[in-house]
A and B are shown apart, each in its own frame.
Chain A
């Protein structure tokens, strides 16, 4: 168990690869939270780095917040709350964007 983040030691999720120093890791996490927010805001979620370790804090519009260790768990938890997985190939994401 990691005493900073509370998650048991586990083999890294594949998305943890690609950043081998603390700076890169933090940048990656921040940037991912930014992208997650853009996608999840229309479902009433906000994601942010939990501030003390890997993963994300995912809050629903009710304020219920879950600490999730990696991206896969974020999609899983979102799917659980929405009732279906967020499908990147759904028409809302694949239609040619119309002019604002």
Chain B
């Protein structure tokens, strides 16, 4: 069965961002402002001596600390255990007394959110209980350029995001902020971009025009990523498209940073989302809007946009 957008699974928000990007500060403010009501907070720190939990404890309804290992690699087993424990507790409660229906995971600054997403998808228990609602990534406007120029990880974090929040915007000039925003937009054209200063939302209007910073090729040889929007021709049906996309993700999954779009199927319009090789369980969207076109955005590297179109045409020609 195709899961509904509004099922009873736990909503998980993954909060990522490079070291010192202001994740705890932002989360504290969000908890104070009531953005995540009743949410259970999971905090992961790579260091052995945690500090973030004491900062958050006052605002959070309930909290679990995972210290001494980044949840996307060495601490993955701990994360899975903690999430399973949460699901287990929740399953034992009746619907009326359930204390929480959402989890916020604050990752360590060294975590790749896409790896956490893949870990949850690959776990046979969690996949039935947890729905990843959003990946929020914080980008430190003050230090982003330097990090993006040298660290592959900071690029990967931005690429995986659904929503990007520029932090410390009060510490930079409008011109720098506009340039950082353009750079981030180039890395992830699909994500919404917001800004915050010390956790408080900050308007991003009236910014001067700026060109994105040139990002050098890193030693790992990653080419810059390229967004491609494909309007799916009307004669391409879901069966044909899914065969093509599954082959593409299998062969090129590591190059495809993000695939996002809506596809009309016999069961209704499906929201498709993939981060690298992992596809989130597609969701049925509510009542079909008139003349919705099938449109899929591919964000990736190592191929020509036109090749995607030609390959789809080859796979689906009748």
Interface 1/0 per residue, B253-267 and A, CB below 8 Å: 000000000010111
Q: Does B65 reach chain A (CB closer than 8 Å)?
A: no
Flag if A11 contacts B127 (CB, 8 Å). Answer: yes
Question: Given A24-B266, A75-B247, A89-B303, is A14 in contact with B282 using a C-beta cutoff of 8 Å?
Answer: yes
| Residues of B close to A39: CB separation below 8 A | 243, 247, 315
Q: Answer yes or no: A62 CB below 8 A from chain B CBs.
A: no
**Considering only CB atoms and an 8 Å cut-off, how many residues of chain A contact the other chain?**
32
Q: Given A15-B242, A93-B315, A96-B310: A20 and B267 within 8 A (CB)?
A: yes
Within 8 Å CB of A76, what residues of B? Answer: 250
User: Which of A18, A35, A86 meets B316, CB within 8 Å?
Assistant: A35
By the criterion CB–CB under 8 Å, are B265 and A35 in contact? no
Q: Are A89 and B307 in contact (CB under 8 A)?
A: yes
Q: In the complex, are the beta carbons of B279 and A89 less than 8 A apart? A: no
Q: Is B252 an interface residue (CB 8 A)?
A: yes
Enumerate chain A residues within 8 angstroms of B315, measured Cβ to Cβ. Answer: 35, 39, 88, 93
A19 within 8 A of B: yes
Q: Which residues, 61 to 100 on A, are CB-close (under 8 Å) to B? A: 71-72, 75-76, 79, 85-89, 93-97
Q: Determine the residue in chain A with the shortest Cβ distance to B3.
A: A17
Distance to closest chain A CB from B240 (angstroms)? 5
What string of 1s and 0s marks CB contacts (under 8 Å) between B228-258 and chain A?
A: 0000000001111011101111111000000
Q: Is B311 an interface residue (CB 8 A)?
A: yes
Q: A14 touches which one: B237, B247, B280 (CB < 8 A)?
A: B280
Contacts A72-B246, A94-B307, A96-B310 hold; do A86 and B266 have CB atoms under 8 A apart?
no
The prevalent SS among residues of B at the interface is: helix
* Closest chain A residue, CB of each to CB of B122: A11
B166 at the interface (CB under 8 A from A): no
When distances are taken between beta carbons in the complex, the residues of chain B under 8 Å from A96 are 310
Contact A75 B310 (CB under 8 A): no
Q: Mark B272-309, 1 if CB is under 8 A from A, else 0.
A: 10000001111010000000000000000001001110
Give the Cβ gap from A65 to chain B, nearest Cβ, in Å: 19
Is there an interface contact between A31 and B2, defined as CB atoms closer than 8 Å? no
In the assembled complex, A48 has its CB within 8 A of some CB on chain B: no
Residues in B with CB closer than 8 Å to A15 are 242, 246
CA distance A24 to B252 in the complex (A): 29
**B124 contacts A by Cβ under 8 Å:** yes
* Cβ contact within 8 Å between A35 and B240: yes
Interface residue A58 (Cβ < 8 Å from any Cβ of B): no
- Given known pairs A88-B251, A93-B314, the reply for A19 and B266 (CB within 8 Å) is yes
Residue of A15, A31, A79 with most chain B CB atoms under a 10 A cut-off: A15
Report if A51 contacts B (CB, 8 A): no
Contacts of A19 in B (CB 8 A): 2, 265-267
Q: A35-B316, A89-B311, A93-B311 are in contact. Are A18 and B238 (CB under 8 A)?
A: yes
With beta carbons under 8 angstroms apart, the residue of B127, B242, B248, B282 that contacts A89 is B248
Residues of A within 8 A of B (CB): 10-12, 14-15, 17-20, 24, 27-28, 31-32, 35-36, 39, 71-72, 75-76, 79, 85-89, 93-97
